[in-house]
Amino acid sequence: MRRQPADNPEQQSPMERIAAFIVDKRKAFYLIYIGVAIFCVFASGWVSVNDDLTSYLPDSTETRQGLTAMEAEFVTFGTSRIMVDNIAFDQAEQLAQQAEAIPGVKSVEFDGTEDHYQNGAALLSITYEGAADDEISLEGLEQVKDLLEGYDVYVTGDVGDSASANLDAEMQVVMVIAVVIILLVLLWTRRDLVPAVIAAMMVTPVIWGGVSQGLREVDPKLLEMAKLCRFSRSKTILLVHIPSVWPYLLSALTTGMGLAWKSGVAAEVICMPKLAIGTQMQYARSAIDTPALFAWTILVVALSLALEGFLYALLRRGGRYVGS
């Protein structure tokens, strides 16, 4: 005979009491989890990994002594790799010559190969006259930055604070915001609506970026002509802005369709709503049903590709009439 759960708290086992307490106080546990998750994101910056294997060598070893002698005799010059975007080759070559003349800069490597110039982007490989933490190298980097002020640049290297280090710090902030938003969605949204909300949050920035890029690429000559022809605002939007935005919107929508499927299924795995593919994948995973898990995964990929292709064909067909 199947055992019925005990209604009397005195007849419940300790594990049943703990489970009942967690269910009754689930909102408090959610808040505790949010606090711990935020703390973990911030605490990740306090942890560092020393990947220099030579630092673990005892001072008495010959290898350590040899490395110490080499560090005392030879200087490892500081370097920077600076990417300058949206620049002509002749202008980049002139900047390289000007950077090489800056005090503290030992050499600047730049040539016409694809390693240093491609698609309007130039890569300047700069070597300084001192080590990475020497004052002469830091001053040289600051003067190089002053030279490139006004350009779209990305700086990385072992001298000064590189853009990659700043990007890591910014990514920690983004992670905190993402964790808070996801947990708030889980707390304040009905379980069956969580996948739709998450998918919308993932797709909206992609579409926004595509539309913004399309608006920036509107030909000023067409706007000038529309103004001379005294087009109304609605006619200018219909005949000038929409045809310019359409290719970028098409790319953003097709990309967003695939992203919506991935994020939606991932959210379904977490919140497990009824009649959802993600829920079935989670059940198959919990039951270690590998064939079913692979079958659901193939179904997700197939549906994503099919809907993405259908949307792309539909929008391409509709794009023939845009601006006509």
Percent of the chain with pLDDT over 70: 87
Residues 195 and 306 in one domain: yes
Higher pLDDT, 195 or 71: 195
Q: What is the pLDDT of residue 73?
A: 72
Q: Is there a contact between 91 and 152 (Cβ–Cβ < 8 Å)?
A: no
Higher pLDDT, 313 or 98: 98
Nearest-angstrom CA–CA distance, 26 and 203: 30
DSSP 197-216: HHHHHHHHHHHHHHHHHHHH
In a domain, 46, yes or no: yes
Residues 254 and 142 in one domain: no
In a domain, 182, yes or no: no
In a domain, 31, yes or no: yes
Residues 287 and 215 in one domain: yes
Query: What average pLDDT is seen over the chain?
Result: 79
Nearest-angstrom CA–CA distance, 317 and 324: 13
CB-count burial class (<10 Å; 0-12, 13-18, 19+) for 122: buried
Nearest-angstrom CA–CA distance, 283 and 280: 5
Whole-prediction pTM: 0.46
Residues 220 and 315 in one domain: yes
Query: CA-based angle 76:79:83, to the nearest 5?
Result: 165
Residues 288 and 209 in one domain: yes
Q: How many domains does the chain have?
A: 3
DSSP state of 314: H
The tens digit of pLDDT for each residue in 151-160 reads: 888 888 777 7
Given 128, 163, 198, the domain boundary residue is: 163
Q: What three-state secondary structure class fits 121?
A: strand
With a cut of 50, say whether residue 2 has pLDDT above it. Answer: no
For tokens 């982007």, name the residue.
121
Given 73, 93, 124, the domain boundary residue is: 73
In a domain, 273, yes or no: yes
Q: What three-state secondary structure class fits 160?
A: coil
In a domain, 180, yes or no: no
Residues 69 and 89 in one domain: no
**pLDDT band at residue 1, thresholds of 50, 70 and 90?**
very low
For tokens 């909300």, name the residue.
197
DSSP state of 103: T
In a domain, 183, yes or no: no
Residues 226 and 253 in one domain: yes
From the list 278, 284, 274, 283, the residue with the least C-alpha distance to 300 is: 278
Residues 203 and 313 in one domain: yes
With a cut of 70, say whether residue 7 has pLDDT above it. Answer: no
Non-local (6+) Cβ contacts of 134 within 8 A are: 78, 128
**Separation of first and last alpha carbons in the chain:** 75
With a cut of 80, say whether residue 181 has pLDDT above it. Answer: no
Q: What sign does the CA torsion over 264, 269, 275, 276 have?
A: positive
Residues 49 and 79 in one domain: no
Residues 81 and 69 in one domain: no
Torsion of CA 255, 261, 262, 267, to 10 degrees: 140
Residues 210 and 294 in one domain: yes
The tens digit of pLDDT for each residue in 35-57 reads: 887 787 777 777 777 777 777 88
Given 163, 178, 199, the domain boundary residue is: 163
**Which region among 25-29, 249-253, 317-321 has the lowest average model confidence (pLDDT)?**
317-321
Q: What is the pLDDT of residue 172?
A: 65
**pLDDT band at residue 168, thresholds of 50, 70 and 90?**
low
Which residue range forms the structural domain that includes residue 42?
10-73
The tens digit of pLDDT for each residue in 259-305 reads: 788 778 887 877 777 778 888 888 888 888 888 888 888 888 888 88
From the list 164, 132, 169, 161, the residue with the least C-alpha distance to 145 is: 161
Nearest-angstrom CA–CA distance, 129 and 76: 10
**pLDDT band at residue 162, thresholds of 50, 70 and 90?**
low
CATH number at residue 140: 3.30.70.100
**pLDDT band at residue 9, thresholds of 50, 70 and 90?**
low
In a domain, 169, yes or no: no
Q: What is the pLDDT of residue 175?
A: 63
In a domain, 3, yes or no: no
| The token pair that represents 225 in the structure block | 């002509």
The tens digit of pLDDT for each residue in 129-141 reads: 888 778 888 888 8
Residues 305 and 207 in one domain: yes
Phi, psi (deg, nearest 5) at residue 105: -95, 120
With a cut of 70, say whether residue 163 has pLDDT above it. Answer: no
